[in-house]
Amino acid sequence: MSPHTLSRRSFVALAAAASIAAAKAKKLPVGLELFSVREQLAKDLPGTVTKVAKMGYDCVEFYSPYMKWSTEQAKEVRKLMDDLGIKCYSTHNSADSFTGDGAKKAMELNSIIGSKYIVMASAGKVEGLDGWRGVADKLSAGAATFKTAGLRAARDIAKETNRIAREVLAKKAG
C-alpha cells in the first residue's frame, strides 16, 4: 500500500476503530449484532461471545435462533455476559415472536438475558397496505404483551428503507 492509497478493508477497519473510540469517549455502549458472526456463534456460543467481549464491545444482540434456548440455557448465557461485563439490550426476532406462544417465550428469554427490546427483524413477505396493517397489528399485540414484563417491541426497517431508496434512485436514473 502506497502512502497515499488506502484499501477498502483498511478504510473500514479504521472507520470502525474511530467509531468505537468516539463512542467510548462519549460513554455510549458499542454493540455487535451477533448475526454478523452467526457461523461462529452456532459452533461455539460461549467462545464467540467471549471473543466479542474481549474485542471491546459493551453489548451484543442475539438473533432468532436464541428462541430455541431453554430457560436454563438463557440463564447460562446471562451468567456468561455478567461474567464478561457485557449486556444484551435487544434481540432480533421473527414475526412469530410477537404473538401467542412465541411472544410468551420471547418475553421469558429476553427477561432472563436482560434485554429490554424485542425487535421484529423481518415481517416476512408483506403485500399491500392490508399486509402492512397486519404487521402493525402483530407489533401492537406484541408490544401490549411485552409491556407487562417491562419490555418493548420494535421493528427493524433497514431492509424496507434500502429497498425504497433503490426504487427511488432507479426512477431518478431512468
- Of the pLDDT bands very low, low, confident and very high (cuts 50, 70, 90), residue 103 is very high
Whether 120 is in a domain gets the answer yes
Residue 159 lies in domain:
34-173
Whether 66 is in a domain gets the answer yes
pLDDT digits (tens, 9 = 90+) for 113-151: 999 999 999 888 888 888 888 989 999 999 999 999 999
pLDDT digits (tens, 9 = 90+) for 5-58: 778 777 777 777 777 676 667 678 889 999 999 999 999 999 999 999 999 999
Q: Is the pLDDT of residue 2 over 70?
A: no
Q: What is the per-residue pLDDT for 122?
A: 84
Whether 67 is in a domain gets the answer yes
Total tally of structural domains belonging to the chain: 1
Euclidean distance between CA atoms 62 and 76, whole angstroms? 14
Q: Is the pLDDT of residue 112 over 80?
A: yes
Whether 166 is in a domain gets the answer yes
pTM for this model (two decimals): 0.77
Q: Which of the pair, 20 or 107, is modelled with greater confidence?
A: 107
Whether 76 is in a domain gets the answer yes
Whether 13 is in a domain gets the answer no
CB 134 within 8 A of CB 125: no
Whether 123 is in a domain gets the answer yes
Whether 100 is in a domain gets the answer yes
CATH number of the domain bearing residue 60? 3.20.20.150
